[in-house]
Amino acid sequence: MSDTSTRRRVYARRASVFGGFVALLGTLVLSGPAAEASPPTPPSAATARTQLASLTVKAEGSSDGYSRDKFPHWITQSGACNTREEVLKRDGTNVQTDSSCAATSGKWYSEYDGATWSAASDVDIDHVVPLSEAWKSGASGWTTAQRQSFANDLTHSQLIAVTDNVNQSKGDQDPAEWLPPRTAYHCMYARMWVSVKYTYKLTLDSAEKSALSGILNGC
């Protein structure tokens, strides 16, 4: 056999091995932690600063007439799955569900505090801009259908799976009053908040705008 033929066979084997390695690497990238789903990414900090500047600043409205029932949430999204169940599947890792779409196992990393949970009961789905906050910022004048869309929005960065008691400590407070305990997430949180308020043309008060400006200027 000539030296040229031998070299060709060696190169062919190397190419085959390399191709197999690339295919394996692609599989690992697609199935590993780096491929985990998360809420839709909000615009950049620069865009958020522009959006923030365009929002109407006015005193927070009254909570008179507010009720969570006026924001029908956890509606059916697909098959047997409601909004909460869809977010649990989206934001979790290796989530298994039963025939009614309830999560029976999985892992959930809470961006707000850095905790990881293995029981869906330890996880809440946070409305980044709380329903009560939306009500006092303009949603009181919406139709029920509009409020339902807001409360179940999977398209924008409005819903996220987080530690339940952290979500409960937030309540309906805005960024001038409450921020995630994990400071590394403040920039993302501010971008998410501004994006939602901008998308839905909600107002904000002066303290809220000042807090958001300070965060975004540091991003």
Tell me, yes or no, whether 12 and 81 share the same domain: no
Q: What is the largest CA-CA distance in the chain?
A: 91
pTM for the whole structure? 0.83
pLDDT for 150 equals 98
pLDDT for 85 equals 97
Tell me, yes or no, whether 5 and 92 share the same domain: no
Q: Kindly provide the residue ranges of all beta strands, DSSP E only, lying in 7-64, ordered along the sequence.
A: none
Tell me, yes or no, whether 110 and 27 share the same domain: no
The total of structural domains in the chain comes to: 2
| Six-digit token string for 190 | 């501010």
Tell me, yes or no, whether 62 and 4 share the same domain: no
pLDDT for 37 equals 57
pLDDT for 38 equals 81
Q: For 186-206, write each residue's pLDDT tens digit.
A: 999 999 999 999 999 999 999
Tell me, yes or no, whether 6 and 42 share the same domain: no
Contacts 24+ apart (CB under 8 A), 33-40: 33/93, 36/91, 36/93, 37/90, 37/91, 38/90, 38/91, 38/111, 38/160, 39/90, 39/91, 39/157, 39/158, 39/159, 39/160, 39/192, 40/154, 40/155, 40/156, 40/157
Q: Which stretches of the chain drop beneath a pLDDT of 50? A: 1-36
Backbone angles phi, psi at 92, to 5 degrees: -95, 180
Tell me, yes or no, whether 190 and 110 share the same domain: yes
pLDDT for 25 equals 33
Tell me, yes or no, whether 42 and 26 share the same domain: no
Domain of residue 7 covers 1-35
Tell me, yes or no, whether 94 and 31 share the same domain: no
